[in-house]
Amino acid sequence: QVQLVQSGAEVKKPGASVKVSCKASGYPFTAYHLHWVRQAPGQGLEWMGRINPKSGDTNYAQKFQGRVALTRDTSINTLYLELSRLTSDDTAIYYCARDQNPRPSNWFDPWGQGTLVTVSS
Amino acid sequence: EILMTQSPATLSVSPGERATLSCRASQSVGSNLAWYQQKPGQVPRLLIYGASTRATGIPARFTGSGSGTEFTLTISSLQSEDFAVYYCQQYNDWPITFGQGTRLEIK
């Protein structure tokens, strides 16, 4: 079945960077766009960016421009989110999510299980 | 950026009754709207896309409607497992944006 399995929880200090991975299985990795969405504690969902795994092309929310990078390794069907210059406001659960359809759809199904990133001094 | 506003923030409904959740976009998104359900400690679950198309496996009691700037998610005859937070999401324009959520609680 289609699965997105994310890396484990991270604790980082302010100013540091974090890199979260998302391993896809059960479908052709390069056929579907992938996204990152985050959720701060007790808060709503916030879209961060998208990558076309085939081309590597990306779109980012302007809020994160300059400190976010989405990359992928097609040899191991894995997507990465790197976020730099972390502050306490970046404490959140980070989800990877796949477009539902091969033709870019921008609605998400399935989702990874989430990775908690805690930023604390 | 398109602002998505959901109302009410919290909705209290008795099991077996109908719930109506609203989502308004700050500008037209056509029918490019999805709804998700999220239960505590769980991953969001896709319910509706294209404003009115149920995702695979979603019960018929979930109905999405609307277009342009006004959208509604109706849950007829609420079941115990339906009490959760619901989010709308527009994908008509970048950046993709979500509403702040409506918490559906048991009355």
The arithmetic mean of pLDDT across residues B67-86, rounded, is 96
Query: What CA–CA distance (Å, rounded) separates A108 from A110?
Result: 6
B101 touches chain A (CB under 8 A): yes
Do A97 and A4 meet the contact criterion of CB atoms below 8 Å apart?
yes
Residue A46's alpha-carbon distances to A63, B45, B78, B95, in angstroms, are: 10, 15, 28, 10
Q: Looking at this protein, which amino acid is placed at residue A73? A: D
Q: Rounded to an integer, what distance in angstroms lies between the CA atom of residue B28 and that of residue A60?
A: 22
Spatial contact of B52 and B31, defined as CB atoms under 8 Å apart = yes
pLDDT band at A117 (very low <50, low <70, confident <90, very high): very high
Tokens of B73: 């998610």
pLDDT at B75: 97
Q: What is the pLDDT of residues A8-54, one digit of tens each?
A: 999 999 999 999 999 999 999 999 999 999 999 999 999 999 999 99
Can you tell me the distance from the alpha carbon of B44 to that of B78, in angstroms, rounded to the nearest whole number? 19
Output the pLDDT for position A49.
97
DSSP state for residue B82 in the 8-state scheme: G
| Phi then psi dihedrals of residue B104, to 5 deg | -100, 115
Contact B41/A at CB under 8 A: no
The mean pLDDT of B73-78, rounded to a whole number, is 95
Do the chains contact at B49 and A107, CB–CB below 8 Å?
yes
* Residues in chain B within 8 Å Cβ distance of A114: 43
Query: Inter-chain contact A44–B101, Cβ cutoff 8 Å?
Result: yes
Does B40 contact A at CB distance below 8 Å? no
Query: Which residue of B96, B97, B103 is the best one to mutate when testing the A interface, meaning the one whose CB has the most A CBs within 10 A?
Result: B96
Mutating which of A63, A95, A109 best tests the B interface, going by the most B Cβ atoms within 10 A?
A109
pLDDT in tens, A41-88: 999 999 999 999 999 999 999 999 899 999 999 999 999 999 999 999
Question: Closest to A45 (Cβ–Cβ): which among B44, B55, B91?
Answer: B44
CB atoms closer than 10 angstroms to residue B3: 12
How far apart are alpha carbons B100 and B107 in whole angstroms?
21
Q: Is the pLDDT of residue A103 over 90?
A: no
pLDDT at A104: 86
What is the predicted pLDDT for the residue at A35? 98
Give the closest residue to A98 by CA, choosing from A90, A108, A86: A108
Q: Is A28 exposed, middle or buried (0-12, 13-18, 19+ CB in 10 A)?
A: exposed
